[in-house]
Amino acid sequence: MSLEMIVRLARPTDLPRLPEIEVSAATLFRDQGVEVFAGEAPETPIDFTPAKVWAPIVDEGLLWVMAKPDAPPGAFLAARIEEGRLHILELDVHREHQGQGLGRRLLTFVVAEARRRGLAGLSLTTFRDVPWNAPFYASVGFAIVEGEDARGALQTYLDREASRGLDPARRCAMVLLF
């Protein structure tokens, strides 16, 4: 009998695996011909978040993984509490585990966790034109917010992404309010 992956809080011992998951998930963009950063070539090394960046988020109890018992994680979701919402910083599923509903299960779990914590909802920034980004989040109940509704922390995240080379016309902020 094969043990199923479960959602659990990340542990410090999970940190070294997170960049591998992030890079693996990002290869889907390249395989589908999606240019993440302007002028990015197929041979350009994939930009990833160093494991140490996630350490404080693990300590805060805001990073969850999908893993089989006593196995390294196959997916993770990192968040931060911003303006009364749980703001999703990163959601990645390793390529070997994609297409199994892990991302949806992880996101559904975290939505329930935000409700349990009494937060007003969730937020994130993502690509509006990539099927496994904005349309995926919309299928869970997130809605694109723009203009005055995307002010504050959401606009700060969008501005930061633009300064890193992400095309602002392709990015959007999304919220799921309770």
Q: pLDDT per residue over 18-54, tens digit each?
A: 999 999 998 887 766 666 655 656 666 667 899 999 9
Residue 115 has pLDDT above 70, yes or no: yes
Closest CA to 176 of 92, 105, 84, 103: 84
The residues spanned by each domain of the chain are 6-177
**Considering only 7-11, 18-22, 80-84, 160-164, which range has the smallest mean pLDDT?**
160-164
CATH classification for the domain delimited by 6-177, as one of 3.30.1490.20, 3.40.630.30, 3.30.70.20, 1.20.1600.10: 3.40.630.30
pLDDT in tens, 134-147: 999 999 999 999 98
pLDDT in tens, 49-108: 999 999 999 999 999 999 998 899 999 999 999 999 999 999 999 999 998 999 999 999
